Amino acid sequence: MSACVHCGTVAATVALALDRRALIRCTGCHLVRLDPVPTPAELSAVYDSGHYYTTEPPSLRSGLGARLQDLVLRTFWNYPEALPPLVRAVASIALRPLRARFLPVPFPGDAPVLDIGCGNGQRLLELERYGCSALFGLEPTVGAADQARRATRADIRTAFLDDAGLPRGHFGLVILNQVLEHVPSPKDTLASIHAHLRPGGTLYLTVPNFDSAEAGFFGPSWSGLQIPEHLHHFTESSLRPIVEAAGFRITLWRTDSVWSVTRMSLKTWKQSAPKGWRALLAALPPLAWLPLTVAADLVGRGQMLRIVATRIDG
């Protein structure tokens, strides 16, 4: 058993038994990690297979969801173009529950933005649409990075942060969306991000919530596990100290659930042929689970942790 990369403690308890591995919880800092650690060849088989979702071309979304996102960003976060005062006043009331659902940071404008693990460039493409021009992306998967280069004018580098040759103290916003769970050392990654942000710069971070109601119910079928590529699994009690120790002041901390992710868990769980009272639940139509997803968010047990933090010094 390997030592915890965060606190160095070797002792751990089994948080979830899997087929060939286990998720173990450090007795020192409570960080959950995958054991044994997958080999580089195992990880390459996942990321370089061509089937990982980030190798699909990005596109500007349309429909109701896209219109809601646009309205939220323009109402609460000063994205262009400004709404008429009356429309903004009404939207600020009607859409307040969605205020933090998308990218809950002020419009970056001309400030340099770095998207770490940018995948196919989806978020960079959306920021570019709003007029952001100082955009950078890091994506170690060659196929995904190629998609991002074709779709955006951002500076895309196929490298990890410490090897990318980017200036320190430069970025106004760093995006780390569903990435921290993939890295060998979360604390080292956050320390490097701190160094690359300008004083007062913002970190936007999301990870799957191992303490979510879905993780507890679905167990090995939970779509947030993603074995073997997810090396660490976070709860509020384990992640908050890591973020703060890296030199950040947390300004937003919440949980959110995405319905499409819930549906993936449901599909896998139903294939496991649940028995007894769980079989009755499995017979329910997928939409019957939607109110439970909403309820989980209301009590802070949603499937994803969403965090905004500011770089502090001293």
Q: Name the pLDDT band for 273 (thresholds 50, 70, 90).
A: confident
The residue behind tokens 């429309």 is: 87
Give residue 100's identity as a one-letter amino acid code: A
Write out pLDDT tens, residues 31-40.
999 999 998 8
Q: Are 309 and 251 in contact (CB under 8 A)?
A: yes
Write out pLDDT tens, residues 94-153.
999 999 999 999 999 999 999 999 999 999 999 999 999 999 999 999 989 999 999 999
- Between β-strands 32-35 and 113-116, what pairing exists: parallel, antiparallel or unpaired? unpaired
Mean pLDDT confidence for 45-62: 75
Indicate the pTM of the whole model. 0.94
pLDDT at residue 41 tops 90: no
pLDDT at 62: 83
Write out pLDDT tens, residues 234-259.
999 999 999 999 999 999 999 999 98
pLDDT at residue 50 tops 70: no
pLDDT at 44: 81
Range name among 43-57, 119-133, 159-173, 262-276 with the lowest pLDDT average: 43-57
Q: Name the pLDDT band for 60 (thresholds 50, 70, 90).
A: confident
Share above pLDDT 90 across residues of the chain, in percent, rounded to a whole number: 80
- DSSP per position, the chain: -PPPTTT----EEEEEE-SS-EEEEETTT--EEEESPPPHHHHHHHHTSS-SGGGSPP----SHHHHHHHHHHHHHS-PSSPPPHHHHHHHHHHTGGGTTSS--S---TTS-EEEET-TTSHHHHHHHHTT---EEEE--SHHHHHHHHHH--SEEESS-GGGS-PPTT-EEEEEEES-GGGSS-HHHHHHHHHHHEEEEEEEEEEEEBTTSHHHHHHGGG-TT--TTT--EEB-HHHHHHHHHHTTEEEEEEEEE--HHHHHHHHHHHHHT---THHHHHHTS-GGGGHHHHHHHHHTT--SEEEEEEEE---
